[in-house]
Amino acid sequence: MDNAKNEKLFENVYRTRDYIVKQELYLIVNAEQNNAVLSVDTYYRRTLLRDSKYQLLYKDRKHIDGKRLPSNTYIRTYID
């Protein structure tokens, strides 16, 4: 039986050349198997509308594109 416990750690948003990415990080605690940091990523294709919203929300960032946070494993979903 799997008694893993999941705890959401952090949300992060960054962008690449083609995508704006929402990254949700979870701590998976499982004494029987192993502990891990899981990243659940949603990749949104960059459009003019999404880019303009991103620019408004993150205009004060030192590095406007942000950065991906490291994890042991990931799940990805792509949205056009």
Give the tens place of pLDDT for each residue, 38-63: 999 999 999 999 999 999 999 999 99
Phi and psi torsions of 61, nearest 5°: -65, 145
- CA separation for the pair 37, 19 (Å, rounded): 22
* Long-range contacts of residues 17-20, Cβ cutoff 8 Å, at least 24 apart: 17/46, 18/45, 18/46, 19/43, 19/44, 19/45, 19/46, 19/78, 20/44, 20/46, 20/50, 20/51, 20/54
Give the tens place of pLDDT for each residue, 64-78: 999 999 999 999 999
> For residue 35, what pLDDT band results from cuts at 50, 70 and 90?
confident
- CA separation for the pair 68, 80 (Å, rounded): 20
